[in-house]
Amino acid sequence: MRAQLVDGSRESDGSAAKVLMVLRTFLHRDTSSSLAELVQATGLPRTTVHRMLGFLVRAGLVAKRGGLYRLGDRSPVVPLPAADRRVLVGCLSELLAVTGETVQVSVLDGNHALVVERLHGRAAELTIAPGSRLPLHCTAPGKILLASRHEPLDCAVFESRTPNTLTRRDAVEAELALVRRRGVAFDHGEWNDSVTGVAVAVHRPHRSLVAALSVHGRTGSFRPEHAATELRRIAHVAALELAR
C-alpha cells in the first residue's frame, strides 16, 4: 500500500508540474495561442498539452475561443509587494467610503490591465474579480497604464467593445496625450456601455509607476468627473505612504 501511495504521489506531482508549465507559458504571451504553439513552447507531447489545457479551462484559469487559448478571468494574480498592497487596499477602503462606488487597483500586464484588488460598491453587477484582465485602450485604468508605456502602440489590440470604443490609432494616441496632460483617465461606456469609470496613477518617487487606482459605477448615475478630485487626493496620499 505504501508503494502505491508513493507512486500515486509521484504521478500527481508530475501532472501538477506539467499543468504549471503550460500555465506559465501564457504569462509570457500577450495574445491567444493555438494548441500547436503551446506544444512547441512547452516541449510536451500534444496529447499531454491538450489534457492539461482541458483541466485549466474547466478551472477557469484558461479560456478557449475558436480553437485558441488565452488566460481566463480566474488566472493567478501577480501580487504586488505586501507593503504596497497594504497601502493600496487602505486607499481602496477610503475611496469606497467616500464614493460608495466600486473601486479597484490594477497593474500593467502586457497588453492588459490586471485587476489586483477590488472592493464592490453600490453597483453589485460590476463584479470583476481580482485576476481579471481588462483591455488597455477602452477602460479608465487601462488608459492610465497604457499612457505610461513608451513603446509604439499595437493597433491589433484596439478591439471595438461598444459604439464608444476608440479603435483608430490616431484617436487612441490623442486620448493618451490628453491623459498624460491631465493625469486622469475616463471611460464613458467604452468597454461596457453600462459602466463608466475614472482612474489615476499611483507613483513612487521619481515617477516610477506602481498601479492604477480607479472608481467605477453605472452609466447615467455615476459621474466620474465628480470622483476625480477625491481620487487624485487619495492617490497622492498613497504615493506619500509608498515613499516611506
- pLDDT exceeds cutoff 80 at 74: no
- 48 Cα distance to chain centroid: 29
pLDDT at 73: 57
pLDDT digits (tens, 9 = 90+) for 192-239: 988 899 999 998 877 688 999 999 999 888 999 999 999 999 999 999
9-18, 24-33, 47-56, 68-77: the lowest-pLDDT one: 9-18
Q: How many angstroms separate the Cα of 127 from the Cα of each of 135, 221, 239?
A: 16, 17, 27
Ranges in the chain annotated CATH 3.30.450.40: 82-242
Q: How confident is the model at residue 9 (pLDDT cuts 50, 70, 90)?
A: very low
Ranges in the chain annotated CATH 1.10.10.10: 2-71
- pLDDT exceeds cutoff 60 at 78: no
pLDDT at 216: 93
Q: For the chain, what percent of residues have pLDDT higher than 90?
A: 36
Q: Are 185 and 84 in contact (CB under 8 A)?
A: no
pLDDT at 231: 94
Q: For the chain, what percent of residues have pLDDT higher than 70?
A: 83
pTM: 0.68
Instruction: Please classify residue 1 by burial: count the beta carbons closer than 10 Å to its beta carbon, then call 0-12 exposed, 13-18 middle and 19+ buried.
Output: exposed
- The answer regarding whether domain 82-242 maps to CATH 3.30.450.40 reads yes
CATH node for 2-71: 1.10.10.10
pLDDT at 30: 53
pLDDT at 2: 32
